[in-house]
Amino acid sequence: MELLIVILVLLGIIIIPNIKIVPQAESYVIERLGSYFTTWKNGLHMKIPFIDRIANKVVLKEIVRDFAPQPVITKDNVTMQIDTVVYFQITDPKLFTYGVDYLISAIETLTATTLRNIIGELELDQTLTSRDVINTKMRAILDEATDPWGIKVNRVEVKNIIPPRDIQDAMEKQMRAERERREKILQAEGEKKSSILIAEGEKESAILRAEAQKLSQIKIAEGEAEALLKIKTAEAEGIKLLKEAKADQSVLTLKSYETLKEMANGQSTKIIIPSELQGIANFATALSELTKDKK
């Protein structure tokens, strides 16, 4: 009985440590007698004591590495510092375990050489404005180069491009001059629009003044015409009333004097009055005949 207990205890000591639980997003590479045997995914597993061993525990999460700035030379012989960020993920634990040693150092070196090759084909201005092109080329080259290592490069980002100090000073002067040029252009366009608006306002004002003057002249002319019409109507009514009243020669003579008086109040500077009463009577007779004709 005691022997059985000892055997069970020994079996427990041997078997229990060989029962493994693989967490989510991890994989275990198992070797049997020194050679690759299998890859454990997440879950419960058991290895044979003294025969199987866990060669590597691989994390399958995406890994981010920010590498230090690397000196690169552009096509037009400008030396600058560029640092990159690489996003990669282990997709094949077996290839990763047996494909490369010192993974991070290997990816950093590969990134630096790839970056130098790409920047060496670009001039300074192209380098500063072609980050997307650089990122795309680097991702494609690194992804292809790391396939034998069981690694997939998801994204590569150029974090900083640091040109030499003198180049930075020249770029700042250029940007300052460009901003001043744009400011002058905007100011000139504003003055142009302002002048156009002022001219259009003066034009509309002149048109409105002309319209107002025209309407004023029309109203004055209409008023004069209406006044003249009323005068003529009143004269006609007066002649009609004289005729209806059967005015005698003396009344007509008096009216003639009144007419002469009205004429004297007008624009005439000289009034010729007949010297003889007979002339006045004749004038009155003529006025009487005129009233007959108008009837």
Asked if residue 283 belongs to a domain, the reply is yes
CATH label of the domain that carries residue 84: 3.30.479.30
Assigned token pair, 215: 């309407």
Q: What is the pTM of this model?
A: 0.56
Its domain, for residue 251, covers: 247-295
- The total number of structural domains that make up the chain: 3
Does residue 22 sit in the same domain as residue 10?
A: yes
CB atoms within 10 A of CB 188: 10
Angle between helices 131-145 and 103-119 (to 10 degrees): 140
Does residue 27 sit in the same domain as residue 109?
A: no
Does residue 54 sit in the same domain as residue 120?
A: no
- pLDDT tens track for 157-187: 998 888 888 777 777 777 788 888 888 888 8
- CA 184 to chain centroid, in Å, comes to 20
Lowest-pLDDT range, 28-32, 134-138, 246-250?
Answer: 246-250
C-alpha span between 125 and 175 (Å, rounded) = 13
Does residue 99 sit in the same domain as residue 128?
A: yes
Residue finishing a domain among 24, 39, 59: 59
Does residue 29 sit in the same domain as residue 116?
A: no
**Between residues 206 and 268, the one the model is more confident about:** 206
